[in-house]
Structure 1
Amino acid sequence: MDTTLPEAGRLLANSQSIVISTHVMPDGDGLGAEIALYHYLKRLGKNVRIVNPDEVPPRYRFLDKTGCIELIDSRRGDWSRFDLAIVMDTNDPRRLGAMWGIFEKHADDILVFDHHPQLEGVHAPSLPNTLKIHEVMDVKSSSIGELLYRLFHQAHDLLDPSASAFRLSPEIALGLYVSIITDTNSFRYSRTTALSHRIAADLIDFGLQPEEIYQNVYSTKAVDHLRLIGEVLSKVSETPFNGSEKTIAWVEIPKALRVKYGASSDDTQSIVNFLLLIKNAEILVLLREEDDGRIKASLKSKGTRKVSDVAQEFGGGGHDFAAGFTASGRLADVRDKLLAKLKESL
């Protein structure tokens, strides 16, 4: 059911044992939001844990200065009942991996913070009616960090009545900032809001060092990874559509190429952003072969044409102008099907 920020604040206030998680292949938005909310709730005396289905990518490990992020151990069955499960940055339980089964079985209530469009029709997940799910959804929010910042201010009288106003801490500020800068691509995406900038200013006024955070998040490439990027970009292809100068620009990264340069999947995440620099390209596509042989597709638009609908047709989803999916099959086959669907949608 749809939940307002004050209602979410009341639910948090009335919960003592809380488990937070985010989606598989975690990113800066989900991880930063987890860290911010974890430290906020710990300050309120809550019994809170972060347990994720996948490991934290190396470039985000600086976020977890206290070692609070746990990796789920599917062999352990010693979960006891807890008051509240919190899901960050996805409204699709299938993207929680093994954590969703834990939440279904052991959580009294489930609170979702998300800013992606809801999956509809045949693509929507099937959920038992017995689950008490509360969803704080705002597709206009730049990030979960922005959503949490609003929560902390609007519900502080419920959550922290002893304080006259919401109080930042270094850990909360760091989590919020990383969430916002990574999901706006450093304020370059169309979903960047005026509030995004005001929050960033507030966090910098508090004492955050933007350059230090930027170095941790983005300046993490080995020389071989730059060579990988160079080889991938040397093979950029463009496909025109609608008989105009506008194009779909796309690149492929076979697993063998990543192995050649010793790169992980996360090391290649930013490559699609280079395609944003192409003058006539309206739609940008990165196709990457994962370690298990499946194909991960990242789709971006320069803000005039939606790509989320096409991603949903392949079982994925995301924002209107930034979406993705994972599919089985040969890289060339997935590419051909995707390009055909994109042209059809345009």
Structure 2
Amino acid sequence: MDTTLGEAGRLLASSQSIMITTHVMPDGDGLGAEIALYHYLKRLGKNVRVMNPDPVPARYQFLDKTGVIEVLGRDSRNGDWSKFDLAVVVDTNDPRRIGALWQVFEKHAEDILIFDHHPHLEESSAAPTPRALKIHTTVDVKSSSIGELLYRLFHQSHDLLDPNSSAFRLTPEIALGLYVSIITDTNSFRYSRTTALSHRIAADLIDYGLQPEEIYQNVYSTKAVGHLRLIGEVLGRVCDAPYGSEGKTVAWVEIPRSLRQKYGASSDDTQTIVNFLLLLKSAEILVLIREEDDGTIKVSLKSKGTVKVSDVAQEFGGGGHDFAAGFNTVGRLEEVRDKLIARLSR
């Protein structure tokens, strides 16, 4: 059921044991948001646990210096969680994207609360629920990030969630998570979902003692020489094809597994390479096609604000934002590329 921020606040306030998660291959938005929510709820005296389907990438480990994030199947602590009041999912409303944790939630949670800023998942794609599980969905597709959405929640529901505090106030740990969520999902305030409110929230978060330069270094200045050499070779292979009738193009790069391994780069190292294509004046649609270690083909799609690439991603079984989306598939990289570019060029 659709749930307002106020209703979400009341659900959090009435729950005592809460488990938080985000999607597979977690990014700065999901990780920052769940860390912020964890510290906020712990401050309120809640029994909180963070359990993810995948480990935290190296460049985001500074967010979790005390090691509160557990990985399903690898970590086990915090006592008996055979039953808990509420499961909270951030940065996805697709049950398939949290893996086996969805089955854990279905079995043990009383309610599931989803915070997202991606379009609602179509009912035909949703995972079935074997029992009368109450799923509350708070989605704001205009929000720049989950960090921005949670900041609004904390501010709007302050009197309800934190009645013992006379004024709205965060902690540096909460502010850090929210700030990382915002800067990573806006690509440092470059994307179309960035608003004046995004900047005002970021400014307020900095006032809690955050050091933007230090955070930037932690998130972005993490690459080895081999990674830069990989970028150089990949950008030397940029391809494009005509799009529309006004001289626009579709631009793409491909990263086969063998090329990534040649430079000792991880899959996480390659995620942001598509952003270099934003520098191309003629390119309206930008595509990154990469082969994972297990042979899965991961495709990232971006546009400069006129083409809804989420529609294309959905055709291939994926989804995302209107102007930034993606999908995973199987097959030969070349075959996936040819099929996708043919679809984008028509």
Is the TM value for this pair above 0.5?
yes
Secondary structure of 1:168's counterpart equals: coil
Match in the other structure for 1:66: 66
Please tell me whether residue 25 in structure 1 is matched to residue 40 in structure 2.
no
SS of aligned partner of 2:198: helix
Q: Secondary structure at the match of 1:251?
A: strand
1:260 is matched with 262
| Pairs within 5 Å for 1:1-346 | 1-73=1-73, 79-120=81-122, 122-128=124-130, 130-344=132-346
Q: Select between 124-133 and 79-88 the one with higher mean Cα deviation.
A: 124-133
Counterparts in 2 of 1:157 and 1:182: CA distance versus 1, 3 Å: same
Q: Is the 8 A contact 1:119 1:312 kept in 2?
A: no
May I ask how many residue pairs the two structures share in their alignment? 344
Indicate the RMSD between aligned Cα atoms, in angstroms. Answer: 1.5
Q: Is the 2:21–2:50 Cα contact (8 Å) retained in structure 1? A: yes
TM-score normalized by the length of structure 2: 0.97
Residue 276 of structure 1 aligns to a residue whose secondary structure is: helix
What is the rounded CA distance, in whole Å, between the counterparts of 1:150 and 1:75 in structure 2? 32
In the aligned structure 2, how far is the partner of 1:211 from the partner of 1:143? Answer: 20
Structure 2, unpaired ranges of 5+: none
> Aligned equivalents of 1:152 and 1:288: distance in 2?
38
Q: Which amino acid aligns with 1:183?
A: D
Amino acid at match of 2:299: A
Is the 8 Å Cα contact of residues 226 and 264 (structure 2) preserved in structure 1? Answer: yes
Cα drift, residue 321 of structure 1: 0.2
- Cα-to-partner distance string for 1:190-243 (whole Å, 9 max, x where unaligned): 011111100111011221110000000000010000000000000000111224
- The answer to whether the Cα contact below 8 Å between 1:123 and 1:315 also exists between their aligned partners in 2 is no
The residue identity in structure 2 corresponding to 1:30 is: G
Query: CA shift at 1:121, angstroms?
Result: 6.1
Q: Secondary structure at the match of 2:278?
A: helix
Give the direction of change, closer, same or farther, for the CA distance of 1:284–1:270 in structure 2 (3 Å limit). Answer: same
SS in 2 for 1:108: strand
CA distance in 2, matches of 1:128, 1:319: 29
Distance in 2 (CA, whole Å) between partners of 1:241 and 1:125 is: 36
Cα distance in 1 for residues equivalent to 2:243 and 2:303: 14
Distance 1:262 1:187, change over 3 A: same
CA distance 1:90–1:175, shift in 2 (3 Å): same
- Secondary structure, aligned partner of 2:119: coil
Q: Which amino acid aligns with 2:209?
A: G
CA displacement, residues 44-89 of structure 1 (integer Å, 9 cap, x when unaligned): 1100000000000000000002110001117979741000000000
d(CA) in 1 for partners of 2:124, 2:236:
38
Taking every aligned residue pair, what percent have the same amino acid on both sides?
Answer: 78
Q: 1:66 to 1:121 in 2, by over 3 A?
A: closer
In the alignment, residue 104 of structure 1 is paired with which amino acid? E
Cα distance, 1:244 vs structure 2: 3.0
Of residues 113-122 and 6-15 in structure 1, the stretch that sits farther from structure 2 once superposed is 113-122
Q: Which letter does structure 2 place at the counterpart of 1:190?
A: S
**Alignment-mate amino acid for residue 251 of structure 2:** A
Amino acid at match of 2:224: A
The 1:303/1:59 distance shift into structure 2, 3 A limit, reads same
Deviations 1:98-134 (A, max 9, x none): 1111111100000000000113264454445622000
**What CA distance in whole angstroms lies between the structure 1 residues aligned with 2:123 and 2:41?**
36
The secondary structure found in structure 1 opposite 2:21 is: strand
Residue identity matched to 2:243: F
- In 2, distance between residues paired with 1:127 and 1:192? 35
- Identify if the C-alpha distance between structure 1 residues 127 and 335 changes in structure 2 by more than 3 Å, giving closer, same or farther: farther
Amino acid in the other structure paired with 1:281: A
